[in-house]
Amino acid sequence: MSKHGGASFTIAAMNTSIASSLPANARPRIAVLATGGTIAGSAADAANTAGYQAGVVGVDQLLAAVPSLSAVAQIHAEQVASIDSKDMSLALWTTLAQRVNALLSTDEIDGVVITHGTDTLEETAYLLHLTVKSTKPVVLTAAMRPATALSADGPLNLLNAVTVAASGAAHGQGVLVAFNNRIHSARDVVKTSTFAVDAFQSPEVGALGWVQDGRAEFQRSVGRPHTVATEFVIGAKWPGVEIVASYAGASRVVVHALVAAGVRGIVVAGTGNGSIHASIQQALADAASQGVAVVRSSRVGSGHVMRNGAAPDDALGFVSANALNPYKARVLLMLALAAGGAGPVVLQKAFDTY
């Protein structure tokens, strides 16, 4: 199996059918797209949950570890990539989103499950939330323990993700993350632990619902527009957008280097309510006056950034990220710029909408 990353990778497609005693037409047809991650990780020792190689177990083995999947759905499986998700690339994002859209546009597939590494899962999920053009369910899942571990969490997470994708209640909810028995919206979910099995939370708003023992239940619905209700499409050239952090003793060197490199946008991982060290705030204001989109987010991990609160956005030409963390704010800014959005007023509307 080859590693995928950067601009060049190949897609090794593989079809896996799981036999079932139920009539085929009684079970939803779910495509499982594997991309790698710890869920496909392998360690030399079953007690090892930190030192292992991610993305080496194939989708056929992931499915074979969960025989009861056949009672839930007819599975069509594809190995889209085999990466550690820290190496997720814009090119692979394009390929993945295009594949999801192609599968969901046919009458043959009722929903998609994507197995992914936990490290950039929230970014991929939000990207798909904004660019999938279907109301059919798309559910990402992952694992904190490699497939070889004692008490590996991947098999149950995979079964639960397929259960969610196969459930009628998931239609129209946008892209979802099924992890550790909870169902999260792609917009809200973030990874909050480096090691715990309960590694994903939706700060402030909480999970959408839960999945357990073959049953998925939604306790609330997604409020903001997504998928078919956005203007974003995948396939346009990705604009250069980078993230800059604000911290004690921060200097303007990074901002100057990014502007000199020709980036079209900078997201600031600000302190507190998106406040920015004085030494880089002026450099960012200069960048904004030259047409670089500057978005204020926060490194705090929950809450929102109030426009004109901790910095005078109107005066400096900045945009507030609302409740998006810096990594999701970068996703939205790239899509908005690729869609032709320009200027703080138009970009602020995108952040207030999505």
Which of 28, 32, 38, 156: binder of ligand SIN (CB under 6 A)?
Answer: 38
54 lies in the site for ligand SIN, by CB under 6 A: yes
In the complex, least distance from residue 87 CB atom to ligand SIN, rounded to whole angstroms: 8
Which CB, 110 or 122, lies closer to ligand SIN? 122
Name the packing angle between helices 344-353 and 326-338 (round to 10°): 120
* CA–centroid distance for 229 within its chain: 18
Q: By CB under 6 A, is residue 161 in contact with ligand SIN?
A: no
Q: Provide the pairing of β-strand 111-115 with 138-141.
A: parallel
> What span, in angstroms and rounded, lies between the C-alpha atoms of 131 and 105?
13
| 165 touches ligand SIN by CB under 6 A | no
For residues 79 and 118, which CB has a smaller minimum distance to ligand SIN in the complex? Answer: 118
Please select the residue that binds ligand SIN; options are 78, 110, 119, 188, rule is CB under 6 A: 119
As a whole number of angstroms, the distance between CA 212 and CA 215 comes to: 5
Residue 78 or 122: which CB sits closer to ligand SIN?
122
Sequence-separated (6 or more) residues with CB below 8 Å from residue 334 = 238, 239, 241, 265
Out of 10, 16, 35, 38, pick the active-site residue.
38
| CB nearer ligand SIN, residue 74 or residue 124 | 124
Cβ contacts of residue 203 below 8 Å, gap of 6+?
A: 188, 190, 192, 301, 302, 303
The distance in angstroms from the start CA to the end CA of the chain is 37
- Least distance from C-beta 181 to ligand SIN, angstroms? 17
Active site residue 38: yes
Considering the complex, what minimum distance in angstroms separates the CB of residue 62 from ligand SIN?
13
Contacts with ligand SIN by CB under 6 A lie at 36-38, 54, 84-86, 117-119, 142, 144
